[in-house]
């Protein structure tokens, strides 16, 4: 598997075996479909006055930022064999708290006020996550039920914070997060990529990743080996909450308005789908944050494609569901075995071994 210098075809073969390979294929196919409708779909324009890039692809990247955030947190939670249904509501809470603060702050348009709003949002998101984590790890409630309750409670909390209003605020620094550009790219996308990279680095460079996966695969063996699952679980849920809060700020900063019933609505579903597209399994024990990122990009592409193709809004969910269902079918071992057995192939020994390996993977 780790031969000294893998040939190009061997590398390709390994890429095909990665679960998120089909996610990449799906993104490309969607782009091709869009190209068929409009040959200039992929065109990227440069705004002559400020050098900023613009075009459909940039829109997709911008839209993917919040999904990237929640999918990253979700991939960690799912790796522990848990689930976090509260991320969409936490997004609304973070949006509500930042908008409400900026509306009422002493110097609402200062950089300081923006930073305080950001800190408050992330802090509150992490706090809500910690609470879920404690209920799961210490009280022993099921993650699904715990975060389902937090999903309802979070939406309610957001409404309490804004007294049920869709609060609006003005603060150019805060807004820059969504609408600014650096090096021609939207800030929001660069921030999202940077945060994902930092999380990947921390998780992979520390022993956090190994321990999370270990708990997800075999919690009893992990406990016997001296791992304290409680602390890890709380950390993971807190991180998921904090990342959801960042996603919430991304979502509200472009319009500087929090819509307490729509901000982050059903984003937990997008995040779960992104993780599973990227190779995660709800049984836990698999962690692929890169895969989750591919999944997030796919969801964003899909959302934009639905709009671009003019799919009637009533049919949108069905369309989205169909695409994802096809993708899951392609990933399913049973279906792949079925397709493989239909395809005549030379029965050389190495290929049989490879087949087995890919089934096991």
Partner 1 sequence: MTAPEPVVRMTGISIAFPGVKALDGVDFRLLPGEVHSLMGENGAGKSTLIKALTGVYKIDAGTIEVQGTQRRFHGTADAQAAGISTVYQEVNLCTNLTIGENVMLGHEVRGPFGINWQATYRGATQALTKLGLGHLDPRRPLSSLSIALQQLVAISRAMATDSRVLILDEPTSSLDAAEVEQLFGVIRRLRDEGVAILFVSHFLDQVYAISDRVTVLRNGQYQGEFLLRDLPRAKLIATMIGKDLETLASLESTRSERAAARTGEPLLSATGIGRKGSMEPTDVEVHRGEVVGFAGLLGSGRTELARLLYGADKADSGSIAIDGRKVALTSPVAGLDNRIAFSTENRRDEGIVADLTVRDNVILAVQAKRGWARPLSRREEDEIVGKYIAALNIRPANPNMLAGNLSGGNQQKVLLGRWLATEPELLILDEPTRGIDVGAKAEIQDSVATLAADGVAVVFISSELEEVVRISDRIVVLKDRAKIGEITNGPNVTAQQVVELIAAHGDGDLPDGDDPGDNHPDGPPGSPTDRLRDGANDGAPTTEGVPAA
With respect to partner 1, which residue has the nearer C-beta, 116 or 217? Answer: 217
The DSSP secondary structure of 175-199, one letter per residue, reads: HHHHH-EETTEEHHHHHHHHHHHHH
Using the minimum distance from each CB to partner 1, give the nearer residue, 171 or 214.
Answer: 214
Reported residue count of the chain is 361
CB of 296 vs partner 1, minimal distance in Å? 24
Q: How far is CA 97 from CA 20, 115, 120, 254, 262, in A?
A: 36, 13, 7, 16, 15
Least distance between partner 1 and beta carbon 135 (Å): 20
Nearer to partner 1, 170 or 206 (CB): 206
In the bound complex, what is the minimum distance in angstroms from residue 95's beta carbon to partner 1? 31
We find the least distance from the C-beta atom of residue 81 to partner 1, in angstroms, to be 12
Q: In angstroms, give the least distance from the CB of 150 to partner 1.
A: 25
Specify the residue, 224 or 349, whose C-beta has the smaller distance to partner 1: 224
Nearer to partner 1 (CB atom), residue 207 or residue 359: 207
Q: How far is CA 182 from the centre of its chain?
A: 23
Q: Where are the alpha helices (DSSP H) in the chain?
A: 8-17, 21-37, 56-79, 87-104, 111-134, 143-161, 172-179, 187-205, 208-217, 219-224, 229-253, 267-277, 289-308, 316-331, 333-342, 349-360
- The residues near 255 (Cβ < 8 Å, ≥ 6 apart) are none
Q: Which is nearer to partner 1, 53 or 217 (CB)?
A: 217
Q: How many Cβ atoms sit within 10 Å of the Cβ of residue 57?
A: 16
Given a contact cutoff of 8 angstroms between Cβ atoms, the answer to whether 233 and 129 are in contact is no
Identity of the residue, 285 or 291, whose beta carbon is nearer to partner 1 in the bound complex: 285
> How many angstroms separate the CA atoms of 120 and 98, rounded?
7
Q: Closest distance between partner 1 and the C-beta of residue 221, in Å?
A: 5
How far apart are the C-alpha atoms of 206 and 208, rounded to whole Å?
5
| Ramachandran assignment for 141, one of left (phi > 0), alpha (psi -120 to 50 degrees), beta (any other) | beta
Shortest Å, Cβ 237 to partner 1 = 15
- Minimum distance, C-beta of residue 162 to partner 1, in the bound complex (Å): 38
Choice between 19 and 154, CB closer to partner 1 = 19
Distance, in Å, from the CA atom of 134 to the CA atom of 53, rounded to the nearest integer, reads 44
Interface positions with partner 1 (CB under 8 A): 1-2, 205-208, 210-211, 213-214, 217-218, 220-228, 232, 285-286
CA-to-CA distance for 192 and 237, rounded, in angstroms?
Answer: 19
- The torsion angles phi and psi of 60, rounded to 5 degrees, stand at -65, -45
Q: Which is nearer to partner 1, 205 or 343 (CB)?
A: 205
């Amino acid at each position: 598997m780790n031969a000294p210098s893998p040939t190009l075809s061997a590398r390709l073969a390994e890429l095909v075996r990665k679960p998120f390979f089909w996610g990449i294929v799906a993104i490309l196919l969607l782009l091709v479909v869009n190209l068929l409708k409009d040959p200039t779909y992929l065109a990227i324009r440069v705004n002559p006055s400020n050098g900023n890039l613009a075009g459909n692809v940039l829109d997709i990247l911008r839209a993917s930022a919040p999904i990237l955030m929640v999918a990253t947190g979700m991939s960690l939670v799912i790796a522990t064999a848990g689930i976090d249904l509260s991320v969409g509501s936490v997004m609304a809470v973070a949006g509500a708290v930042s908008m409400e603060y900026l509306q009422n702050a002493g110097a609402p348009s200062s950089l300081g006020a923006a930073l305080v709003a950001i800190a408050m949002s992330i802090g509150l998101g992490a706090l809500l996550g910690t609470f879920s984590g404690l209920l799961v790890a210490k009280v022993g409630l099921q993650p699904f039920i715990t975060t389902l309750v937090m999903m309802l409670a979070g939406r309610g909390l957001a409404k309490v914070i804004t007294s049920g209003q869709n609060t609006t605020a003005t603060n150019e620094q805060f807004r820059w997060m969504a609408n600014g550009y650096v090096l021609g790219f939207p800030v929001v996308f660069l921030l999202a990529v940077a945060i994902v990279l930092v999380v990947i680095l921390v998780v992979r460079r520390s022993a956090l990743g190994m321990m999370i996966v270990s708990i997800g695969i075999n919690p009893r063996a992990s406990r016997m080996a001296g791992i304290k699952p409680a602390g890890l679980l709380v950390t993971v849920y807190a991180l998921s909450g904090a990342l959801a809060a960042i996603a919430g700020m991304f979502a509200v900063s472009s319009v500087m308005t929090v819509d307490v019933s729509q901000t982050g609505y059903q984003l937990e579903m997008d995040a779960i789908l992104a993780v599973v597209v990227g190779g995660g399994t709800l049984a836990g024990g698999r962690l692929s944050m890169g895969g989750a990122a591919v999944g997030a990009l796919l969801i964003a592409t899909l959302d934009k494609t639905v709009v671009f193709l003019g799919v009637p809004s009533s049919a949108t969910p069905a369309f989205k569901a169909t695409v994802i269902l096809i993708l899951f079918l392609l990933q399913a071992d049973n279906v792949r075995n079925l397709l493989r057995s239909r395809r005549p192939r030379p029965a050389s020994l190495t290929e049989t071994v490879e087949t087995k390996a890919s089934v096991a993977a």
